[in-house]
Amino acid sequence: MKIAVFPGSFDPITTGHVDLVRRALPLFDKIIIAVGVNSTKKYLFPLEQRLAWLRVVFDSYPTVGVDQFQNLTAHYCQRIGARYLLRGLRNASDFDYEKTISQLNHIVGGGIETVFLIAQPEFSHISSTIVREIIVGGADATPFIPSEIKIELQ
């Protein structure tokens, strides 16, 4: 059983994340979208909200699950029996960052392989960081987030 973990903050989920998961579906028997919980990191949206959005968006995908984890991604993968990580590459700075993390995860996770998909051109400008800025700035983020979710700032 080929299980991949797609780790991230998903603060919030974007159409770029969804595209990545859809393209990875044929590669794995199961994809677990796992929200990493880092108590020192500040998020715009609460964990429960981010998880709820992921569940709604991927509700109709039988091979996609949603979960959360603390501490090391590699240890989480080992715990659930996942031998693959899924990540997206939008540009060279993604590559520089991901290269090191992937090499570390391979060692710490006892051979975990990270599978990278290059972002499609129409999604490569989309990031959660930009979407947060748009939301906080009071502009309309709907072009960048899945149609199933509606963002309301409390």
Distance CA 146, CA 153 (A): 16
What is the contact mask toward ligand ADP in residues 119 to 138, using x (rule: CB under 6 A)? Answer: x---xx-xxx----------
In the chain, the N- to C-terminal Cα span, in Å, equals: 41
Give 78 or 124: the residue with its C-beta nearer to ligand ADP: 124
> Do 33 and 64 contact (CB within 8 A), yes or no?
yes
Q: Which residues are the active-site residues?
A: 17, 41, 90, 128
What are the two backbone dihedrals, phi and then psi, of residue 26, each rounded to the nearest 5 degrees? -70, -15
Residue 20: CB atoms within 10 A of its CB come to: 24
Give 4 or 80: the residue with its C-beta nearer to ligand ADP: 4
Tell which positions 15-44 bind ligand ADP, by CB under 6 A.
16-17, 20
The single residue among 73, 84, 87, 112 that binds ligand ADP, judged by CB under 6 A, is 87
The single residue among 4, 5, 10, 69 that binds ligand ADP, judged by CB under 6 A, is 10
Q: How far is CA 32 from CA 4, 11, 68, 103, in A?
A: 6, 17, 9, 21
Residues at the interface with ligand ADP (CB under 6 A): 8-10, 14, 16-17, 20, 87-88, 90, 94, 119, 123-124, 126-128
